[in-house]
C-alpha cells in the first residue's frame, strides 16, 4: 500500500484529494500548513509527498529544501503551484522537488496513475 502525504492550504481541495486517493487504495495523511507537515515528516514515513508551494506559514520551496538538506529526506516530492513560469519550475527543482505540477486536481490524479 502506498502511503501519501498531501500538504495543501486549501481545505476543500485537500479534502477532495484525500477522498480521491483513499478510494484508490492509498493511505493518505493531510496537512494544511508547513508546521503540521514538518511534524508528520518527522514522525511518519511516506512513499510520496505532494507539497503545495503556496502555504501560509512557509512556502513549499523552502519546506522542500529543508526536507532535502536538513532532514535528508529522499522521499519523492511533487510540488504544486498555480504559477506556470519556467523560473518557478526551475526554483522548484533547485529546491529538491522530483516533479513540479501546475496546480489542477485533474493533473495530479493523472500524474500519480
Say if pTM beats, i.e. exceeds, 0.85. Answer: yes
The SS3 assignment for 10 reads coil
pLDDT in tens, the chain (113 residues): 899 999 999 999 899 999 999 999 999 999 999 999 999 988 999 999 999 999 999 999 999 999 999 888 899 999 999 888 899 999 999 999 999 988 765 555 565 55
- Tell how many helices (H) and how many strands (E) occur in the chain: 5, 5
- Total structural domains within the chain: 1
Residue-level pLDDT at 104? 64
Cell numbers placing 58:
512557509
Residue-level pLDDT at 14? 93
CATH code of the domain containing 84: 3.40.50.2300
Range of the domain at 50: 3-111
Amino acid at each position: 500500500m502506498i502511503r501519501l502525504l498531501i500538504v495543501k492550504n486549501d481545505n476543500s481541495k485537500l479534502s477532495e484529494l484525500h477522498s480521491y486517493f483513499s478510494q484508490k487504495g492509498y493511505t493518505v495523511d493531510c496537512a494544511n500548513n508547513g508546521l503540521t507537515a514538518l511534524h508528520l515528516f518527522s514522525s511518519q514515513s511516506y512513499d510520496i509527498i505532494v507539497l503545495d508551494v503556496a502555504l501560509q506559514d512557509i512556502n513549499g520551496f523552502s519546506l522542500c529544501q529543508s526536507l532535502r538538506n536538513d532532514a535528508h529526506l529522499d522521499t519523492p516530492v511533487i510540488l504544486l503551484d498555480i504559477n506556470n513560469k519556467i523560473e518557478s519550475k526551475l526554483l522548484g527543482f533547485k529546491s529538491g522537488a522530483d516533479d513540479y505540477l501546475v496546480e489542477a486536481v485533474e493533473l495530479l490524479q493523472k500524474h500519480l496513475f
